[in-house]
Amino acid sequence: MGGELELALRRQQETSPGSGRYHRLTRSERWQGEQTAIIVCDVWDLHHCLNAVRRAEEFAPRLNQVLIEARKRGVTVIHAPSDCMPAYADHPARQRAMAAPRAADLPEEITAWCSRIPAEEQGVYPIDQSDGGEDDDPAEHVAWAAKLKAMGRNPGTPWKKQSELVEIDAQRDYISDRGDEVWNVLQQRGIQNVILAGVHTNMCVLGRPFGLRQMARNGKHVVLMRDMTDTMYNPQRWPYVSHFTGTDLIIGHIEKFVCPTMTSDQLLGGKPFRFAQDRRPHVVLVMAEDEYQTERTLPEFAAAQLGKRFRVSYVFGSDTERNEIPGLEAVREADVLLLSVRRRVLPAESLKIIRDYVAAGKPVVGIRTASHAFSLRGQELPEGFADWPELDAAVWGGNYQGHHGNQLRSMVERVAERQTHPILSGLPDEPFAQGGSLYKNTPLAEGAVELLRAKAEGQPDEPVAWTFQRADGGRSFYTSLGQRADFENPAFVRLLANAIAWAAGLETDSPEQQAAAAAPSDHWTLALVPASGAAATAAVAPLPATSTATDQPAWYRCVFRLPAAWQFGTVKIQLPAGGDVSAWCNGQSLRVAAPTEAGRGRLAVIPRDALYADDANLLVLRMDGQAASALAAAPTILAGEHQLALAGRWQLRRGDDSRWSNMPLPAKFGAPTDIVYQP
């Protein structure tokens, strides 16, 4: 039986080369079922992380329904529970996979783990998974490990087979965890389209020999089913966001650099799957103004302030067409809409998305130029476009009449009658300086509740922040603050974070909770090698820098991969000459020799039992003394006649903790794509 799959594939495209901002776009495609396969990655019966087991068991029944429907449409199903082939030695689906003839175009390295494809070099890997991503309660984790041991399972690798919640059709399906076998099946059946589902997105789904990277780099039309997956991410690690936000960040990375994504409802109908514990309201930030740089400040704000409690989507104006905002469809899924738009008009169907959202009585937050977001000034409306000059009064309850001169300094203070309003929680009692010119908004509409006022020298007071109950029943918050300097002011940052929580119907954090929730500064960050001093981290700003104090030891780490085809014998590392240097490979301490000649550096031999050929190897250096300021020379791997210079991005951390010499899991699982070196 054959059929078609009508898919909406989501991808992210840079707004312009080098901008670092991305439009989230969707395209429609129609795939033939007979030319499509679904690979089920590592949906094991058990896992060392109890929360991972719970989440897999929650989405597995839905995944099973996806496979049932896919088979009806002629889709090939390949079950890939890694390390579990002995359990299926006599299973017809396993025998079927092994019997597939060897493909004539078997890709090179299709049997190997893939840590990175070239496109990923453009981005910063969005999470730290080097602790293995365990997010269990510590006491529960100890009890779970004991239970696994009592069951006769290895607590570190307890999986034996695929979860019974995902059925295997013995008459039609395939079972394999080998990249070459999976490729053979795909080629035998003439399959060009591949859907990946299963766990874990940031590790196995991306990196396995049958995973997203291998499929993408070898020419398959591959997509991730983003609601039928999960990550191994611990919220106690950078960037200190909720587990589900960590998953979103990885999905975003995949959409930018690896392949598009889809959702299970495209086969089953209804809505995409959502974990029961994922209660985050969805905030959509729409940014289209070219005066105050909120296309930079708002994402920075959201990354620091919203990731623990909210799901966040970013919508940017076009860099080439002033009156286009690609990806506005995300507003249809929003629980809170934040506008930072200035004097744009849109195609009528695009503006209707925002009008419909507001008319539904949903909450809206606006900053600065949102008062005149969709209103031209003295210009004729282009044909086919729509404006909304009434937005200021109808949505914000505002009365924008221009602004005072930029040279006039204004001070912002609370409105006395609103001291206990939740949006003002944690703001200072004393006045603070506004970062830009003061907007004229007097008088506000009836029903507006003024929270902050400001006064410019020689001018009457003006409201600068207020709430408004709209005629459609929805709640709005607006502030005329929002210049770049305002985002550098903790008072404004707290105001905006509180306003978004208020709009979503959440309680605002108390000052004590805010202080407790502040992200730690003790983490690995990116650094350039070679570099000196502050220059080491200056060019990798997407990650916050750790302490630059040079009196602390500096720990550097990267990952390298040497092909077995090199036929190398003794492998050495040439290290910088200055200062005290200690080195480890995959956690094994290396003996670092003294420099043989001045300025020639020093050598360390990697024992063969510490090195994995054709796999990821973790190299860690500890620099003390003068050398701790930065790695002024790039280490080089010497393998027989071959050399591999480790120049580029490394991870850096300062302090003194012997645990940093290794990861608690193999580097291919724990290392980000940023720091991988291979020929």
Cα separation, 137 vs 10, in Å, equals 34
Whether residue 362 is predicted with pLDDT greater than 80 in this model: the reply is yes
Task: Dig out the tokens for 46 from the structure.
Answer: 């058990």
DSSP 602: E
Cα separation, 311 vs 196, in Å, equals 23
Is the domain spanning 4-12+33-118+158-268 CATH 3.40.50.850? The answer is yes
Exposed, middle or buried, 393 (CB in 10 Å: 0-12/13-18/19+)? middle
The angle subtended at Cα 51 by Cα 48 and Cα 52, nearest 5°, is: 60
Architecture in CATH of 525-677? Sandwich (2.60)
Cα separation, 246 vs 253, in Å, equals 11
pLDDT digits (tens, 9 = 90+) for 203-252: 999 999 999 999 999 999 999 999 999 999 999 999 999 999 999 999 99
Cα separation, 237 vs 134, in Å, equals 10
Q: What is the mean pLDDT of residues 8-22?
A: 96
Mean pLDDT computed over every residue of the chain = 93
The set of residues, in sequence order, having a beta carbon less than 8 Å from that of 538 and lying 6+ positions away, is: 528
DSSP 674: G
Task: Dig out the tokens for 483 from the structure.
Answer: 């210049």
Instruction: Return the pLDDT at 502.
Output: 97
> Where exactly does CATH 2.60.120 map onto the chain?
525-677
pLDDT digits (tens, 9 = 90+) for 57-79: 999 999 999 999 999 999 999 99
Q: What is the mean pLDDT of residues 322-344?
A: 97
Whether residue 570 is predicted with pLDDT greater than 50 in this model: the reply is yes
pLDDT bracket for residue 354 (50, 70, 90): very high
CA 461 to chain centre: 43
Instruction: Return the pLDDT at 540.
Output: 46
pLDDT digits (tens, 9 = 90+) for 432-447: 999 989 999 999 999 9
Task: Dig out the tokens for 421 from the structure.
Answer: 């309003």
Task: Dig out the tokens for 29 from the structure.
Answer: 């495609």
* CB-based burial, 501-533: b 16+ in 10 Å, e otherwise: bbbbebebbeeeebeeeebeeebbbbbbbbbee
Instruction: Return the pLDDT at 521.
Output: 75
Q: What is the mean pLDDT of residues 128-140?
A: 97
Instruction: Return the pLDDT at 541.
Output: 38
The set of residues, in sequence order, having a beta carbon less than 8 Å from that of 330 and lying 6+ positions away, is: 24, 284, 313, 315
Whether residue 542 is predicted with pLDDT greater than 50 in this model: the reply is no
Task: Dig out the tokens for 74 from the structure.
Answer: 């002629």
Beta bridge partners of 192: none
Q: What is the mean pLDDT of residues 163-182?
A: 98
CA end-to-end span of the chain = 46
439 or 601, which is more confident? 439
Q: To the nearest whole percent, how much of the chain has pLDDT over 90? A: 84
Whether residue 550 is predicted with pLDDT greater than 80 in this model: the reply is no
Q: What is the mean pLDDT of residues 493-498?
A: 97
Whether residue 597 is predicted with pLDDT greater than 70 in this model: the reply is no
Cα separation, 147 vs 153, in Å, equals 9
Instruction: Return the pLDDT at 600.
Output: 63
pLDDT digits (tens, 9 = 90+) for 99-122: 999 999 999 999 999 999 999 999
The set of residues, in sequence order, having a beta carbon less than 8 Å from that of 77 and lying 6+ positions away, is: 37, 38, 40, 67, 70, 71, 169, 172, 173, 174
Cα separation, 16 vs 320, in Å, equals 8
DSSP 48: S
Instruction: Return the pLDDT at 409.
Output: 84
Tell whether omega for the bond before 158 is within 30 degrees of 0, i.e. cis. Answer: no
- Helices and strands, number each (H, E), in the chain: 16, 30
3-state secondary structure of 22: strand
Least confident among 33-42, 256-265, 389-398, 562-571: 562-571
Choosing among 3.40.50.880, 1.20.1440.230, 3.30.70.20, 3.40.1410.10, the CATH entry for 282-505 is 3.40.50.880
Cα separation, 54 vs 60, in Å, equals 10
Contact yes or no for 481/495 (Cβ under 8 A): yes
Cα separation, 49 vs 38, in Å, equals 25
Instruction: Return the pLDDT at 100.
Output: 98
Whether residue 1 is predicted with pLDDT greater than 60 in this model: the reply is no
